[in-house]
Structure 1
Amino acid sequence: MDIPLWVWLATIGAMIAILAVDLAIVDHPWSKKTGPREFGIKQAAWWAVFYIGIAIVFGFGVWYFGGTTAAGEYFAGFLTEKSLSVDNLFVFYMIMTAFAVPKRYQHEVLLVGIVIALVMRGIFIAVGAQMINAFSEVFYAFGVLLIYTAVKIVHDHVKSDDDEKDFSDSFAVRTVRKFWPVTEDYHGARLTVVQQGRRHVTPMLMVIVAIGVTDLMFAVDSIPAIFGLTQDPYLVFTANAFALLGLRQLYFLLAGLMDRLAYISWGLAAVMVFIGVKMILHALHENHVPVPEIGIGLSLGVITGVMTLTIVASLLRSRGSGRKGERPDEVPSESSAE
């Protein structure tokens, strides 16, 4: 689509306004003594529905102004990026568990993580669009990268039971520790404090560093995935942005289901392989090799079907395990959350 500059500016401005409203309502400290309150499941559910509703309404706007093909590309990209964002949540969950982030400050950490992710993906989208315009052979590299990523996702999933990754001891975190002393305890949401006349960083800053590095790695995987579905920079950006908006509310909504989505990694890997093959076929087609191309309708159907099947199979497995007398995964109690 040929998107004028004012539409880009209006879209980015609207997203900033939505985040500002979210920040004002959700992160408003209801008491100066107690600070921000804990985030409850009911509150998270309403916000998650709100953000998904906005994304769907925007998709209908794309259909009205841009046509069926553009709308199909947007929805396929949104579903793919939303599915990948769920994988982000698993990693965020492990990071905050490793650093023992107090629950009342977790949504602030997630907000910073989302902002970093938006910036990272914006840069990668700009670079990726220029690479695609320069030479179509980049689709070969993107396709191979996605297939490799799929293999890595499955490998990490199978390996995770025996070798849990320690995000609190990553290279970036160790580098920060070399230059600044780190306090033992959290000091609210502050990133640094002065103790005994010397500036210390808090565990909150270490968490943000770990999440920032994770966002960078996920951006490397997710941007090639959506470029395999659409090469329109506007659709790529908006699908990514709407997938990330509301991510922190989705985190608290799915917190009790993290261990129950057993097959989510397999579903994501299947989607990655499918898009990787689609990109390689597209590159061959661009180089005049007589191969079939995968249409956006088929792409949307496969992505929707695979992720639906993955979620349903995971929940059925979880419920079946409980009936057989196995200890069900513990779900954090939200009875005290407002």
Structure 2
Amino acid sequence: MNISLTMWALTVAGLCALIAADFFIGGRKPHEVSLREAGIWTTVWIVLAALFGLGLFLYGGGQPAGEFFAGYVTEKSLSVDNLFVFVLIMAKFAVPSPLQQRVLMVGVLIALVLRAIFIAAGAAIIAGFSWIFYLFGAFLIWTAWKLIQDARSGEDEEEYEENRFLKIVEKRFPSTDAYHGTKLFISEHGKRLMTPLLIVMLAIGTTDVLFALDSIPAIFGLTQDPYIVFTANAFALMGLRQLYFLIGGLLKKLVHLSYGLSVILGFIGVKLVLHALHESGVHVPEISIPFSLGVICAVLVVTTVTSLMASRKQAEAGHDEGSAQLVEEPVSAPAPVDRPARAGDCPSEAENRQ
């Protein structure tokens, strides 16, 4: 799909306007985000993504629209995995609840800018070297296998370890230990100090780049159009802040999420390898976008359903074990309470107390 420079500029301007509206309406004043607010804004961003996909359908036909929806669903599902790390980051830096939405908004904007750079670099590499699809495909298949191994090991990451960039920033720029509202810098004893709020924003943004190492090749496996890749990433990321507050309590219940993501990444990796073979002149079947979208959606639905069923069974088993322990544990009589003898007590009773 040929996108003019004017269309690119209008798209970026439109996204900036939506981000500004999101900020001034819901995120300007620090506050604790309710489930109702998070649900409304999550719905708004999903509807906006659907309207954009409809616009692509009217502008370029079914092919670009299908590629956008496939890319959007893939990036959205992969971004849910980011939320686990975001929870760890918030806990490590002890971010106050009213400031968490500001942290996520700025962190996601940093991530979007960095992803745009990744997308531009990826598009340039693909345009010059078609063999890169082999590398992308192999990397996704390896990532899928690693996800399965991590899920089977049952070792959940419970602590967030700062990356090298953050360590350099904290070493070169002195910071305070306490938060000062929404301020990123303060002056203390004549020195300009960085607050933890800026550090955690950088942590969110730079950590997301690590996830982009598999999500960007994944979406390039669905479409090679940089415009679709960028817009799908933008809509998936911009709804991530509200999704954090909406399903934050459900994250631990998605016990099969890693398996679902591994299937999706492995599937796209195979699709990339087949596409690379096709580009090299080898007659192999290529996987269509409608089929890819169907597989991705089916995997996500099955993963979610099985995760909730497994979590419910685990909760019921834990409840039954707790009830059994209460039944088996002998009930002891309450210990007698000593009190001084009072007038009117019979002699034997008073002697027993003494």
CA contact (8 A) 1:95 1:211 kept: yes
Change (3 A) 1:3 1:176: closer
Equivalent residue number for residue 196 of structure 1: 189
Contact 1:143 1:276 in 2 (8 A): yes
Q: Is the 8 A contact 1:172 1:209 kept in 2?
A: no
Q: How does 1:283-298 map to 2 (within 5 A)?
A: 283-298=276-291
Per-residue CA deviation, residues 245-303 of structure 1 (Å, 9 max, x unaligned), is 22101110011111111111111111001101110111011111122211112111110
Give the counterpart letter for 2:190 in structure 1. G
Question: Given the alignment of the two structures, is residue 117 of structure 1 paired with residue 111 of structure 2, yes or no?
Answer: yes
Gaps of 5+ in 2: 321-354
Kept in 2: contact 1:120–1:215 (CA 8 A): no
Distance 2:169 2:96 in 1: 21
Pick from 90, 101, 105 the counterpart of residue 96 of structure 1: 90
Greater shift in the superposed pair: 288-297 or 249-258: 288-297
Residue of structure 1 in register with 2:4 after alignment = 4
1:153 aligns with 2:147: yes
Q: Which residue of 2 aligns with 1:336?
A: none
* C-alpha distance in structure 2 between counterparts of 1:283 and 1:246, whole Å: 33
What RMSD in Å do the two structures reach over aligned CA positions? 1.8
What pairs with 1:267-286 in structure 2 (closer than 5 Å)?
Answer: 267-286=260-279
Residue of 215, 228, 243 corresponding to 2:221 = 228
TM-superposed CA distance for 1:123, in Å, is 0.9
Determine the structure 1 residue equivalent to 2:63.
69
Equivalents in 2 of 1:105, 1:165: separation in Å?
21
Equivalent residues in 2 for 1:76-91, closer than 5 Å: 76-91=70-85
Q: CA 1:69/1:52 → structure 2, altered by over 3 Å: closer, same or farther?
A: same
Q: Deviations over 1:3-37 (max 9, x none)?
A: 222222211111110110110011232xxxxxx22
Query: Structure 2 matches for 1:25-40, cutoff 5 A?
Result: 25-29=25-29, 36-40=30-34
Are positions 1:170 and 2:172 aligned together? no
With normalisation by structure 1, the TM-score equals 0.90
Report what 1:19 is aligned to: 19
Gap change, CA 1:256 and 1:163, over 3 Å in 2: closer
What residue in structure 1 maps to residue 335 of structure 2?
A: none
Q: Distance in 2 between matches of 1:93 and 1:185?
A: 19
Residues 62 and 93 of structure 1: CA distance in aligned 2, closer, same or farther (over 3 Å): same
Structure 1 residue aligned with 2:303:
310
Deviations 1:92-140 (A, max 9, x none): 1111111111110001111111111211111111111111111210101
Q: Tell me the secondary structure at the aligned position of residue 200 of structure 1.
A: strand
Contact 1:116/1:215 (CA < 8 Å) preserved in 2?
A: no
Is residue 143 of structure 1 aligned with residue 137 of structure 2? yes
The Cα offsets for residues 23-65 of structure 1, whole Å up to 9 and x where unpaired, read as 0011232xxxxxx221111000000001101111111221222
Is 2:120 aligned against 1:126?
yes
Q: Secondary structure at the match of 1:325?
A: helix
Q: Name the SS for the 1:294 alignment partner.
A: coil
Q: Secondary structure at the match of 1:193?
A: strand
- How far 1:324 moved relative to its partner? 2.3
Whole-angstrom CA distance in 2 between matches of 1:280 and 1:162: 31
Are the aligned partners of 2:88 and 2:158 in contact in 1 as well (CA < 8 Å)? no
Q: How many residues align?
A: 320
The AA in structure 2 aligned to 1:107 is Q
Structure index of larger Rg: 2
Q: Is the CA contact (8 Å cut-off) linking 2:134 and 2:276 kept in structure 1? A: yes
The letter of the residue matching 2:163 is: S
Cα separation, 2, equivalents of 1:152 and 1:208: 28
Deviation at 1:78? Answer: 0.6
Structure 1 residue 178: Cα displacement: 2.0
Q: 1:126 to 1:170 in 2, by over 3 A?
A: closer
Q: TM-score, normalised by structure 2?
A: 0.86
Q: Is the 8 A contact 2:49 2:235 kept in 1?
A: yes
The one of 36, 41, 46 aligned to 1:42: 36
Do 1:184 and 1:203's aligned partners in 2 also have CA atoms closer than 8 Å? Answer: yes
Paired residue type of 1:236: V
5+ residue gaps, structure 1, are 30-35, 328-338
Q: Is the 8 Å Cα contact of residues 77 and 236 (structure 1) preserved in structure 2?
A: yes
- Residue 67 of structure 1: CA displacement? 1.5
TM-aligned CA distance change 1:242 to 1:66, over 3 Å = same
